[in-house]
């Protein structure tokens, strides 16, 4: 019984860590997407940058 509880706790911690990692990856991907779109890499509009340069 004690062994089962220990395994359950370990699995719960592991699941939590995996969820945190996936959440972090999702947030990072979203941030990168927003930054790239803001800088015009995804939707390139080079004319304003060319005029400024």
Q: Identify the domain containing residue 40 by its residue range.
A: 2-52
Total number of domains constituting the chain: 1
End-to-end CA, the chain: 71
Full-model pTM: 0.49
Q: For residue range 16-31, what is the model confidence (pLDDT) as tens digits?
A: 999 999 999 999 999 9
Average pLDDT of the residues of the chain: 78
Q: What is the pLDDT of residue 33?
A: 87
CA 18 – CA 7 distance, rounded (Å): 16
pLDDT at 8 over 90: no
């Amino acid at each position: 019984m004690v062994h089962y509880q220990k395994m359950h706790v370990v699995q719960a911690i592991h699941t939590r860590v995996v969820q945190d990692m996936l959440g972090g990856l999702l947030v990072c991907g979203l941030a990168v997407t927003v930054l790239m779109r803001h800088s015009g890499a995804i939707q390139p509009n080079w004319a304003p940058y060319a005029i400024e340069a």
